[in-house]
Amino acid sequence: MKPCSIATVLWLITLPCHATITGVVVDDLSNLPVADARVRLQATTGAPFVTAADGQFNLDNIPAGPVVVTAVPSYDSSRAINYITGAVNASDGDVVEIRLTPLPTGDASPYDPGSAEQCATCHFDQFSEWQQSRHSGAADNVWVRDLFSGDGTPGGDAGFVYTDTHDPGETGFCATCHGPIEDAQDPGNVMFNNFQTAAGQDGVTCLACHQMAEVNDNTSALHHLGNTEYRFPDQGETALWVWGPLDDISNSAMRSSHQPGFSDSRFCAACHEYNNPDTGAPGQTTYSEWLASPFAQPGPEFASCQDCHMPAAAQPGPISTLGGQPIRPAEQRRAHDFVGTTSGSLQDAIALELDASDDGGELLVNAVVSNQGSGHAFPTGVSIRNAVLHVQASVDGQTLPLLSGDVIPFYGSSASSNEPDDLAGQPGRGFARVLEGRINGSGPVVRPVLFIDAENVWSDTRIAAGAEDVSAYRFDTSMLPPNSQVEVTATLLYRRAWRDLAVTKGWTQTPGGDPVQSVVAQQNVNVAAGGTLPEIPGVPVLDMRGMLLLMFAVVLSALFWRRRQSPPG
């Protein structure tokens, strides 16, 4: 240990001894006091003691027995010197000095951090959860591979393939978020089908987050092309320099810095908020959707992205499988499986209401889709995700004609199929952001396109967080007998890819094994409706089939009568 400065020694000698732990935080190289250091008892919650320019601190309410006292200033790229967390063992009444190691200012290049399995040695629980997440499959996502180079699935070379339609060497920036640790060392220039490192092949691996030192407010920029700062310190084993949301991590192997942004929704904007860098057309806007949501407002209903997608553990415990680790409160132990749009989560977040009434020869149907349970638009994320609301009214299996109301847009069907799931033109609504543009910046404007070719937003009918979509439909019941039983059904379908894209590529399930299409909600109501003819006592009321047969009989009779009236020859 380096000798203390004379001023530090004199200050320590003059401190009174009482039921607290007092001390000073100093730079291990210069022996100068460190300001803005967050000092606390390890594995506690609540606000830390923050040092002033003299580096001194005073902690009260110390429990009996030995404790660990930690200190570190939060990482800030504008600071001249940043530090890793320092710690000392102490007991009630001790006077201590906490020495902080400065972060190296240089970064290793090139740098291969190895595979995620190395992290499993000490963090097996988090590693096991991560393995189940789509983050772990980001670099070998077969849908992205089909769209990029056409070789992800057996039919992936059909339809749009980026490398076939764009200039040689253009990356499309897929690897920027799908293999960020490798791409960060050569921003924007790594091909998605050509990862060279184990970390690149691991996708959004452990260090893809924990070596992300800072996320700035330039959220429209694409990850490390302007939105984030990665650090790969060039002293010792680079993979051991990490950042995280806890300010009290002390370990002889890991070199941990505190980054409070890990608990902020803006941290997720690194990959879940960006625009086309040339045209400004939106790619993903999940973060800004959250900012505009009720969940972003301070108060008891506040919920960050992490609160929903990385919920706290059910009980206290360690965050490492190594022995001797402190038992942490449940709120400091976060899930790492990053659950997103499962059927269950959609059904919890999105609601569907349906009502119908007879209106004298017309059936009035109202449908309400509400997005009250998610902190972003429905749907959110990449633009190929969409949803459709399909509304039907029928009698004995025969659909009634639509008189007025919306119909499902073109993307509800595939141009190359004619199957029950092709719903374009049928009564209902579509919920999607449709981007349009020219492929590789030339030729005719087409829609929909991926964000990399997007020049404009053609339409955006997604439902904002906390909002609802109301639609009304009128069906013709004038030809029905009075009091006919009409069955009305509304089905809300979530589609993880455009219908035409899925059919063209032959996709039947997502890379994670989920169905391409799932039912979010379905509602049914039965309504007595029909024409305005009065009922005649003793005369049976015909159903739809009977009416059709009667009309057919009338037409045949008229034809027969005309033939009888025609002169011979």
- Give tens-digit pLDDT for 459-472: 999 999 999 999 99
Q: pLDDT tens across 277-302, in order?
A: 999 999 999 999 999 999 999 999 99
State residue 15's pLDDT score: 47
For residue 424, the Cα-to-chain-centroid distance in whole angstroms is 27
* 16-32 average pLDDT score: 88
The closest of 327, 313, 436, 310 to 383, measured between CA atoms, is 436
Residue 488 half-sphere exposure, CB side, CA atoms within 13 Å? Answer: 28
The answer for 138, left when phi > 0, alpha when psi is -120 to 50, beta otherwise, is: alpha
512 pLDDT above the threshold of 80: yes
Question: Is the peptide bond preceding residue 110 cis, with omega within 30 degrees of 0?
Answer: yes
d(CA 407, CA 400): 14
Tell me how far apart the alpha carbons of residues 335 and 312 are, in angstroms, rounded to a whole number. Answer: 6
**Rg of the chain (C-alpha set):** 32
Query: Is the full-model pTM beyond 0.85?
Result: yes
Mean local confidence (pLDDT), 529-558: 57
Of the chain, the end-to-end C-alpha distance in Å amounts to 125
Residue 2 has pLDDT above 70, yes or no: no
Say if CB 144 and CB 192 are below 8 A apart: yes
What is the rounded average pLDDT of the residues 425-429? Answer: 98
- Predicted pLDDT of residue 544: 47
* Domains of the chain by start residue, with CATH: 6-100 (2.60.40.1120), 117-314 (no CATH), 343-529 (2.60.40)
Judge if the upstream peptide bond of residue 104 is cis by omega within 30 degrees of 0.
Answer: no
| Nearest one of 35, 70, 73 to 52, comparing CA atoms | 35
User: CB burial class (10 A; 0-12, 13-18, 19+) of residue 3?
Assistant: exposed
Model confidence band, residue 18 (pLDDT cutoffs 50, 70, 90): low
Separation of alpha carbons 255 and 273, rounded Å: 30
| Cα–Cα distance list, 329 to 84, 245, 332, 535 (Å) | 22, 14, 6, 72
% of the chain surpassing 70 pLDDT: 90
Of 7, 15, 100, the closest CA to residue 57 belongs to 15
Provide the greatest CA pair distance for the chain. 133
Higher pLDDT among residues 149 and 563, named by residue: 149
Q: Answer yes or no: is pLDDT of 504 > 80.
A: yes
Q: Read off the amino acid at residue 431.
A: F
Helix, strand or coil for residue 528?
strand
Return the SS3 of 49: strand
pLDDT digits (tens, 9 = 90+) for 364-411: 999 999 999 999 999 999 999 999 999 999 999 999 999 999 999 999
Q: If DSSP codes are grouped into helix, strand and coil, which group holds residue 543?
A: coil
Tokens in use for 331?
């709120």
